[in-house]
Structure 1
């Protein structure tokens, strides 16, 4: 029987030509005491499609994003229970941001299981902190884990759920997937059943670089053959303050709660419109929770722009930075004043990187100034092109400030410290102001850099200004007298 798909923003459609074990998942839910809602049954039917060529699951990856209050946890627990009965000694894991979150979810599941008609299949659970486990009579088990206990450890798994994936950075998320992928292939050969990884979450914030990147790729049509995905929530052209629209697109409206209760939910959020939209419309909160540079500090450290003709006698360093996906290139100047302070000002923001080499070489030649830029990430291609430029004598056209691999992580902190102690100021500029307001941090140990994917606008203006200021303090010895043309 082919079921009508629920109202989704996007996602994988059911292939009626394939068999599915969604009916077994539905029966498992009934035995657990929580029959599946229509949206849950649809996801179970698609995720449970079987490949006739192999006789096992068609999909190895399930990506699910839903609003709050829709029954996502019930579906996860039901799928885990069903999977544990597919054979002997199966290994099922539930991964959450912290061990506390995972264990709280697990305790609620164990209570539900022990109160259900499936209790005779379950052995006595282990509930000690750090060692929780629900084992079944067939030797299979379900365990909760914090994501930090899994990454890079090659844990053998037949199914795992990476829940609340919005909490992960891109680096952490892919470290987990890279570590678990090979072990899942091993289990397929050993058990004959296709392992599955489920990645589930409500949409996150600008800092949710792992889940944001994953969803953006799927929405753009980059869907691997063995991935099924489901995107529930309010479309972009609907108003999250329109409660009837929210209810129409919410998969559990009218089933777990009604419109009156939805109004109560809205009232609880008060003035936090972004939080409400994220929770019940499943809208990404693209705001920056914490600016790298506070608005008060930024506004208190402005200076007047300096005209090119006023640069005589003052050392200059240019900073260049490229936005993620090479959409823009920003160029800033760092100017050493007579009193030892550094003024920075944004000079240009160019589309792409095509015109950047000519403009950068013109500026460096005109002011006999070096260039400071990162040589990795989105900057790598432009940096390589600039370093390859040579004059008729074979000498480099652009002199670079020497920047070692670890130096880039000190650039931002040095800039903020300079603003705080009065040794760095910035010329007022609307594009630089916007970049400072919308740039987020990405931490690496105790150091940080601008998060290009975790920010909400162009990061290149602020990054170029930071590089220009750092370059002034680390500029190479001049090869001759400064010339101004």
Structure 2
């Protein structure tokens, strides 16, 4: 099976290429090229009449376990044996990740016939693979250091897993790398990654550019991924049809094993190269639209409520979560009004009527006063309210579960204009190195509060608060 690229700069046969020589080198290093790797090498390594590489920037976005590193290893080795005093650099989000890539490359070179022309130094922080015939050196640099490559020359800079960088961090990398290439004819910047998250603003802009023009002057672009309009993100046949290593170095069984151990949205991103979120949406419109339902909650099963207040405290919203006939969790809007004074009395009323499994309010959010009011009323009246404990760990779990449920097809939402508007308006922020949904109001004044309330309700249904046996009913506004 040879999955075709969804976007790719085409081969221009008017120009010769070093792709064939690099492919032979890859085979000698123990990793014969798969068809997709040969395609990238043939195009990215085209040279003009002067023998200079035509593309200064090569962007490759492809699924995990496709063979990104085994493509780049012979590319760098070829440059090392053909260009005198070549500067070959590897970086990634963490220096250790870059050092691991460097070590894998050094191992592959030393296990090949090239071992006679290299000398290796593995001291931490001073990793260097020197090609004795040319004086070329393969080294590691810190991606986010503004002075990392000062005074150096670069013939190849390889940025691995670039989804980890924001646009601002990407600018730091470019400011460090690009000037070092100015005096090196044919120097190339390779930017390689799987799809990212809403925080991956540097890679996302490169993907937009590549998809729009499939590269361009001095810019080559290659992408293997499942389509954006994929209806069933759990269908392994879709992944198999678009993953270029299936049938070569990865089996369908291995793909199924990966799916069984990963969260649905992470599997879609890693093995489908699918942007579950983007720089424009915290949740992809495709994912959101696919999760629509008109089905009501099943009667006789527990429900849960989630409440959120707009960041500017202009209003609040209550959502409910319940179980649908097909077993999925469903979320829906119960009530929304301006102001927040109505929310605690209404939640107490709903609790008395429906005996929910949980009422979830983040006490550290703008809804904190509502949480305190309910806690006080519960204490004063002695009324049982299953008010869930909710802090940062629960927030991280709730975000992951909500996105995973939407992506994996286990969570649905009853269409509501406020939910749709909230999802369109919702951005992201980072908490404990995890990207989560933001509460900030969008520029047009739209609040993401309805989507957040739905997320909290779903979390409450999945994590009920222990209490006396509830009377099982369904919610109705």
* Structure 1 residue aligned with 2:255: 262
> For 1:9, which of 1, 6, 16 is the aligned residue?
6
User: Mapping of 1:396-411 within 5 angstroms?
Assistant: none
> For 2:48, which of 51, 72, 80 is the aligned residue?
51
* Structure 1 residue aligned with 2:116: 120
* Structure 1 residue aligned with 2:196: 204
* Structure 2 residue aligned with 1:246: 239
> For 2:221, which of 218, 229, 252 is the aligned residue?
229
Shift of 1:305: 6.0
CA displacement, residues 13-56 of structure 1 (integer Å, 9 cap, x when unaligned): 1111211011110111122121111111111100111112x221
CA displacement, residues 360-412 of structure 1 (integer Å, 9 cap, x when unaligned): xxxxxxxxxxxxxxxxxxxxxxxxxxxxxxxxxxxxxxxxxxxxxxxxxxxxx
Say whether residues 1:217 and 2:212 are aligned partners.
Answer: no
Is the 8 Å Cα contact of residues 96 and 163 (structure 1) preserved in structure 2?
yes
Whole-Å separation in 2 of the counterparts to 1:222 and 1:11: 6
Whole-Å separation in 2 of the counterparts to 1:158 and 1:267: 42
Whole-Å separation in 2 of the counterparts to 1:45 and 1:28: 13
Shift of 1:57: 0.7
- The gaps in structure 1 that reach 5 residues or longer are 189-193, 290-294, 307-333, 338-415, 423-428, 444-449, 467-485
Whole-Å separation in 2 of the counterparts to 1:131 and 1:93: 12
> For 1:184, which of 164, 181, 192 is the aligned residue?
181
User: Structure 2 vs 1, CA of residues 297 and 177 (structure 1 numbering), >3 Å: closer, same or farther?
Assistant: farther
User: Structure 2 vs 1, CA of residues 86 and 212 (structure 1 numbering), >3 Å: closer, same or farther?
Assistant: same
* Structure 2 residue aligned with 1:107: 103
Whole-Å separation in 2 of the counterparts to 1:465 and 1:252: 39
Is the 8 Å Cα contact of residues 99 and 130 (structure 1) preserved in structure 2?
no
Name the SS of the counterpart of 1:147 in structure 2: coil
User: Mapping of 1:384-399 within 5 angstroms?
Assistant: none
User: Mapping of 1:383-462 within 5 angstroms?
Assistant: 420=368, 430=418, 434=422, 438-441=426-429, 459-461=442-444
Whole-Å separation in 2 of the counterparts to 1:156 and 1:456: 45
Is the 8 Å Cα contact of residues 135 and 142 (structure 1) preserved in structure 2?
yes
Say whether residues 1:135 and 2:123 are aligned partners.
Answer: no
Quote the RMSD (CA, aligned, Å). 4.0
User: Structure 2 vs 1, CA of residues 232 and 417 (structure 1 numbering), >3 Å: closer, same or farther?
Assistant: closer
Shift of 1:259: 1.6
User: Mapping of 1:254-333 within 5 angstroms?
Assistant: 254-269=247-262, 272-286=263-277, 288=282, 298-299=308-309
Whole-Å separation in 2 of the counterparts to 1:145 and 1:254: 35
* Structure 1 residue aligned with 2:59: 63
CA displacement, residues 248-273 of structure 1 (integer Å, 9 cap, x when unaligned): 2110000012222221121112xx21
Whole-Å separation in 2 of the counterparts to 1:457 and 1:38: 46
Shift of 1:162: 0.8
Is the 8 Å Cα contact of residues 431 and 461 (structure 1) preserved in structure 2?
no
Whole-Å separation in 2 of the counterparts to 1:197 and 1:248: 29
Whole-Å separation in 2 of the counterparts to 1:27 and 1:7: 22
Shift of 1:108: 2.0
Whole-Å separation in 2 of the counterparts to 1:28 and 1:73: 14
Whole-Å separation in 2 of the counterparts to 1:218 and 1:170: 16
Is the 8 Å Cα contact of residues 151 and 176 (structure 1) preserved in structure 2?
no
Is the 8 Å Cα contact of residues 159 and 197 (structure 1) preserved in structure 2?
yes
Whole-Å separation in 1 of the counterparts to 2:198 and 2:148: 25
CA displacement, residues 430-451 of structure 1 (integer Å, 9 cap, x when unaligned): 37982698222389xxxxxx99
User: Mapping of 1:158-197 within 5 angstroms?
Assistant: 158-188=155-185, 194-197=186-189
User: Structure 2 vs 1, CA of residues 247 and 150 (structure 1 numbering), >3 Å: closer, same or farther?
Assistant: farther
Name the SS of the counterpart of 2:308 in structure 1: helix
Shift of 1:145: 2.1
Whole-Å separation in 1 of the counterparts to 2:146 and 2:92: 10
Give the TM-score normalised by structure 1: 0.61
Whole-Å separation in 1 of the counterparts to 2:155 and 2:247: 35
Whole-Å separation in 2 of the counterparts to 1:237 and 1:435: 18
* Structure 2 residue aligned with 1:351: none
Counting matched residue pairs gives: 336
Shift of 1:223: 3.8
User: Structure 2 vs 1, CA of residues 245 and 139 (structure 1 numbering), >3 Å: closer, same or farther?
Assistant: same
